[in-house]
Structures are given as structure tokens and as C-alpha cells.
Amino acid sequence: MNQEQIQKLVKSLLIEIGEDPNREGLAETPERVAKSYGKIFGGYNENPKDIVTVFDNEGYDEMVISKNIEFYSFCEHHMLPFHGRAHVGYIPGEKIIGLSKMPRLVDVFARRLQNQERLTKQVADTLTELLEPKGVGVVIEAQHMCMQARGVNKQHSSMTTSSFTGGFKKNMATRTEFLNLINS
Ligand code: ZN
């Protein structure tokens, strides 16, 4: 990301929406936006394989769940924020992942322009690829500012997406156990 170029673009944008980029409150805005984009869109420079540490399961073969992972992303249609919670579960094969890495994994994909469906699937697919588990379940609930702020009159609606693989897809009891645990 070229910070200087982003600053220039933000300044042009301010002018186009009818602002005076030189007034006091906006003087530092292009710089702030450019800096925040480094974080908000930092996921483009991250590879999940570098983040996820994988361990031997040491005989543990029951469902592992990390729930209520808060995340912030930007919708690719409007470049407006959507945010919510991700619930991620899997049944280990030979390998397990450090629990603290689950939120990091969600962030790698959330910190890009996204749609919620793809974000959900990318988390599930990446866990499947890295852990070769017996199944993965991912549920994401989020509120989209593009729906709330544009006067579509859906201020309180949220959207839920899910992705299931392996045992979570084939076995209804497994899926129900997961859904009960994330809703408890
Ligand atoms: Zn949108």
C-alpha cells in the first residue's frame, strides 16, 4: 500500500463530496485514513499458513469450538464496514490449532474487502486445508452498515452465514451439537 497515494486519493474524495480538505477538522484526515487502511486492509499481506501453529492432537478427538470471535470487515460492494461474531468449530484429525490463532485466522480474511459468504467459506476452507480435520463448522453473524446507513430501513437486521464440511455436513447430530454449543 502506497500511503502517499492513498492520502492524495482521500483528499480528492473529500473535494468531490463537497468538503474543504483544508478546514481544521479535515487537515489530517487523509493521513489518518491512509494509516487506518494499513490495518483495516492488512489481510492482503498476510498468509494464514504463517499465522496458524499446528500441534499434535495428543488423543483429543472431540469437537473444539471458539465462539464469539469479534471481527470487523468491509463489504466489497460499498466499502462500508460490516462487523459481528464468528463461531468456529472442528473435530480434530491428527492435528489441532492453538485457540488464540482462531481470531487471527478470522482477521486475515476479515481485513480485506469481503462479502460475508466468502469470509465464512474462506475460514472453513483454510482450517480444512491446514488441519485436515474430520469436519469444520463456521457460523458468522454480522450487521452491515451499508444496509443500516443508506436508509434501507433495516437498522436492526443481521445476516447469518454458515459453512459446514465433513462430519458437520453429513452428520445432523454433530451439526446440532455445534449449533447448541455456540448458542448456549
Ligand atoms: Zn454493502
Catalytic residues: 75-78, 116, 144, 146
| Confidence (pLDDT) at 151 | 67
| Confidence (pLDDT) at 154 | 63
- How far apart are the CA of 82 and the centre of ligand 1, in A? 8
CA-CA distance, 184 to 180, in Å (whole number)?
Answer: 6
Query: How deeply is 127 buried, as exposed, middle or buried, from its count of CB atoms within 10 A (0-12, 13-18, 19+)?
Result: buried
Question: pTM of the entire structure?
Answer: 0.92
| Confidence (pLDDT) at 184 | 86
| Cβ proximity of 94 and 16 under 8 Å | no
| Confidence (pLDDT) at 4 | 95
- pLDDT exceeding 70 applies to what percent of the chain? 97
Query: pLDDT per residue over 3-23, tens digit each?
Result: 999 999 999 999 999 999 999
Q: How confident is the model at residue 91 (pLDDT cuts 50, 70, 90)?
A: very high
Segment among 16-20, 107-111, 180-184 with least mean pLDDT: 180-184
| Confidence (pLDDT) at 146 | 87
| Cβ proximity of 119 and 138 under 8 Å | no
| Cβ proximity of 108 and 43 under 8 Å | yes
Has residue 52 got a pLDDT over 90? no
| Confidence (pLDDT) at 105 | 96
- At 43 the three-state DSSP class reads helix
- How far apart are the CA of 123 and the centre of ligand 1, in A? 20
| Grid cell of 54 as nine digits | 499446528
- How far apart are the CA of 138 and the centre of ligand 1, in A? 21
178 vs 157, more confident? 178
- The residue whose grid cell reads 492482503 is 44
- How far apart are the CA of 164 and the centre of ligand 1, in A? 24
Query: pLDDT per residue over 135-150, tens digit each?
Result: 999 999 999 998 887 7
- How far apart are the CA of 103 and the centre of ligand 1, in A? 23
What are the structural domains of the chain? Answer: 3-40 (1.10.286.10), 46-182 (3.30.1130.10)
**pLDDT, averaged across the chain:** 94
